[in-house]
Amino acid sequence: MKITQKKGIDRKLDIAWSKLVKLRAGMKCEYCLAKNKQLHSHHLYTRSKKSTRWLVDNGICLCASHHVLNSTFSAHKSPREFNEWLDQYKGEDFMLMLRLKSNHIHKWHEFEKKLLLEELNKQIDGYIITD
């Protein structure tokens, strides 16, 4: 397999994951509830963790301000405050389950990535049809 093919499917999965995170949130920031054209999909546990990289539950939709720009409250500039809010918003049990999943080592096979991409796209299509 060529490296470019592998990166190609990973990129498609990243794009589908990001779109689905935003759709699940109703295309609004989950912190301030503002509908904003500058929405970002933020990984709760780093995307370098392959076991949860494309798990939609590992994502949250944030406006640009609450993702990276706001020094008082944002996922990247005030992580302690963000994580405290996240525990309340998602629930401590949910966050513990997600942490356990993120620490699981997973090697994705090409066929698994293709199946996952199909599944994410089906879910995306479901949102588009019902809107």
Domain ranges within the chain, ordered by starting residue: 3-125
Q: ∠ at Cα 63 (82, 36), nearest 5°?
A: 155
Residue 101 pLDDT greater than 50, yes or no = yes
* CB neighbour list of residue 25: distance below 8 Å, 6 or more residues apart: 39, 60, 61
Quote the pTM value: 0.89
Lowest pLDDT segment from 38-52, 70-84, 116-130: 116-130
Nearest to 97 by CA among 60, 52, 50: 52
Two structure tokens written together for 50: 């392959």
